[in-house]
Amino acid sequence: MKNRIVHSIISILTAFVFLIDPVFAAEDPSTYPVASDGEKTTAPFVTKELIGNKGVSLTHTFTFTFTPAGTTTVDAGDHPAIADVTIDITKKDSETSAVSSADVTLPSQFSKPGVYAYKVAEKEDAGFNSQYETNGKIEFDQETYTMLIYVDSDLQITTVTAVKDSTKQKTSWDTGKGMKFENKIIKNANPDPGNPDPDNPSSDRTADVIIKKQVEGTYGDRNKAFNFTVTFSTDGTVALPKDWSLSSITGSTGSTKLTNKNGTFTFTLKHGQQAEFSNVPAGVTYTVKEDGAKGYTAVYKDAKITDAFTDTKGQGVTASGCLIHENGGANGQMTNTYENITPTGIVTKNASFLFMILAAAAAAIVSIRSKREQD
């Protein structure tokens, strides 16, 4: 009975140790395929690629760890430590990705010849996402690599290889990729829920995107309602999380809430009115279309786009590819100008009738004069 209790306690303690200190099974280098010249190196490196939609930027330091795994030739306890590798990377909002690499500092001393194995992984920054709880998310790479260091009888490194654990594919060092890890970043267009327009702190705006209506021209009808269609879309560089989908975007014109049909809104605006949209992810583009109106020339201008979109008079206009940036404050204005009317004193549509009257009067005068001359 006592032996059973003792064995049970030992089993529990052993399981507990494994839970708090993950142990990798000893690697058998002979099970890996022979490496080609491009898969061998003495200067291993880690590569980080940061992926995100245009309109989204990020500067961050990523950390990669090297945990001894042990091999059939050298126990994990005999592995010298390898320092963490850090990579500083900056993705600009004009880019869809940014790439940076850093070298691995290999140990200078080894206790015995053989093959040394290390598990290479990205260290997830637990506090990172807390910075973007309401305005962004980053996806850390869960991939791991097994890096093998071959040490000869003189205790010198002869070569280093690496294998991606999920695919068992050897790393090609000569392609410039090395042990590559990817991260995906997404942000909301509104970096501060209390201030959607950070470039203008005193602004009272409450939306991420605002589209205004303006009617110009001496004879422009400011009570006329113009038909609009606004469509939000993404190029798919980074798939939007469920709670950041295009269907989560809300829209309104004044007190009227607009219906979101898979990212598309239809509505009307008169002079001085505006449509507002919220919960818009940065990196999303929008297209605004206004139906043609007889006599009006429409011009759409986005505050962050140099060139305006102009229609052929009366044909309407479509402004596409308007990018929404992470710093919010997206503004667009559709201006309709009515053609000028030149006063002539004569109603032109009755001109032919007036000409006939004048012609008849002239003929009558000629006839009267002719009769007088005959008399």
pLDDT of residue 14: 44
pLDDT of residue 366: 57
pLDDT of residue 175: 85
20-29, 165-174, 281-290, 342-351: which is most confident: 165-174
In whole angstroms, what is the distance from residue 155 CA to residue 115 CA?
Answer: 11
Inform me whether the pLDDT recorded for 16 exceeds 50: no
Question: Where are the chain's structural domains?
Answer: 28-187, 209-338, 347-375
pLDDT of residue 287: 92
Inform me whether the pLDDT recorded for 199 exceeds 60: no
193 Ramachandran zone, left/alpha/beta (phi>0; psi -120 to 50) = alpha
Q: Which residue has the tokens 């068992």?
A: 168
Q: Higher model confidence: residue 102 or residue 12?
A: 102
* Confidence class for position 185, pLDDT limits 50, 70, 90: confident
Q: Which fold has domain 28-187?
A: Immunoglobulin-like (2.60.40)
CB 328 within 8 A of CB 218: no
Inform me whether the pLDDT recorded for 29 exceeds 80: no
Report the percent of the chain where pLDDT is more than 90.
Answer: 43
Count of Cβ atoms closer than 10 Å to residue 192 Cβ:
14
State how far Cα 310 lies from the chain centre: 27
Query: Of 84-98, 168-182, 224-238, which range is least confident?
Result: 224-238
CB 183 within 8 A of CB 62: yes
Q: Please give the CATH number for the structural domain made up of 209-338.
A: 2.60.40.1140
The mean of the pLDDT values for the chain is 81
Q: Higher model confidence: residue 337 or residue 107?
A: 107
Inform me whether the pLDDT recorded for 137 exceeds 80: no
Read off the pTM: 0.71
Evaluate whether 28-187 and 209-338 have a shared fold: yes
Amino acid at 124: E
Buried-exposed string 308-325: b where 16+ CB fall within 10 A, e elsewhere: ebebeeeeebebeebbbb
